[in-house]
Amino acid sequence: MEFDEWEPVYEAICRDFGYDRTGDERARDVLASLTDDFDLDRLSSLRDATVAVAGAGPSLESASALERARAADAVVAASTAVDTLAANGIDADCMVTDLDKNPETVRRLTGAETTVAVHAHGDNVPLVRDVVPDCAGEFVLPTTQAAPRGPVRNFGGFTDGDRAAFLADHLGAAELAFVGWDLEDPAVDSPKARKLEWAERLLYWLESRRDERFSVLDGRRDAIETSALPVE
């Protein structure tokens, strides 16, 4: 996705959460100073593939979710979803994270030649400075929600999970299979619930752009607030 298309949605997210764009831009520039261009051919396993997009909801531990992840051609996993999958013998092709939960996993995976898409934003600069220099650089795919600059890319998306879906889309996935998504999880606090609402909206947008039906949205489409989205 080009930034021009993403920018109005990003502005709506900033308004909703009170984020300062300059904070995201400063974070992007810190990440740019610590990283090099990432070769997207490293993620060629996603091209034309059925890609499981793993969220970190509690349902990821269920037998049916693990079975669907195992059956996919490739797996992109958000944040701690990568640990749950690994504990069940499933290696993700790519982890997507803003470093807020399991930075040790990020260090370990890049060291083991697995790609990690590391996202910088206005509220995680100390983590970026702390973790990224410890990683194997060729396996860090640096991302931002602000305008891309230097090696730092913007494929669209906001939370770790929906960014994983936008990344898979950018890389040419034929089909997205969502596992571990619990959009109405009663266990999450209110700021997290608001982030999940945005994740849901963004998946709705991606679904309409791809002309595909995402099972994670079944039964929910009518309730999604779409006024900030460029959809019909």
98, 169, 200, 207: which one contacts ligand PH2 (CB under 6 A)? 98
Q: How far is the CB of 160 from Mg ion (least distance, A)?
A: 4
Size of the site for ligand ATP (CB under 6 A): 20
Which DSSP state fits 145? S
Phi/psi of residue 153, nearest 5 degrees: -105, 160
Task: Write each residue from 146 to 185 as x if it is in contact with ligand ATP (CB under 6 A), else as -, in one continuous string.
Answer: -------------xxxx------------------xx--x
Cβ atoms of residues 158 and 199 within 8 Å:
yes
CA distances, 207 to each of 79, 146, 204, 211, 214 (Å):
22, 22, 5, 6, 6
143 forms part of the interface with ligand ATP (CB under 6 A): no
Task: Write each residue from 150 to 189 as x if it is in contact with ligand PH2 (CB under 6 A), else as -, in one continuous string.
Answer: --------xxx-----------------------------
C-alpha 127: how far from chain center? 17
Residue nearest to ligand PH2 (CB): 121
Size of the site for Mg ion (CB under 5 A): 4
144 forms part of the interface with ligand ATP (CB under 6 A): no
Interaction residues for Mg ion, span 52-91 (CB under 5 A): 79
175 forms part of the interface with Mg ion (CB under 5 A): no
Phi-psi region of 105 (alpha: psi -120 to 50; beta: other; left: phi over 0): alpha
Shorter beta-carbon distance to ligand ATP: residue 30 or 199: 199
Smallest Cα–Cα separation from 11: which of 229, 232, 182? 229
Alpha-carbon span 120 to 204, nearest angstrom: 24
Interaction residues for ligand PH2, span 130-149 (CB under 6 A): 145
**What stretches of the chain show up as alpha helix (H) in DSSP?**
3-17, 21-34, 63-71, 81-87, 103-111, 125-131, 160-170, 190-210
19, 38, 166, 181: which one contacts ligand PH2 (CB under 6 A)? 19
Q: How many CB atoms lie within 10 A of CB 216?
A: 25
Alpha-carbon span 72 to 52, nearest angstrom: 6
Shorter beta-carbon distance to ligand ATP: residue 14 or 188: 188
Residues that bind Mg ion (CB under 5 A): 79, 98, 100, 160
Residues that bind ligand ATP (CB under 6 A): 55-57, 78-79, 98, 100-101, 159-162, 181-182, 185, 188, 192, 195-196, 199
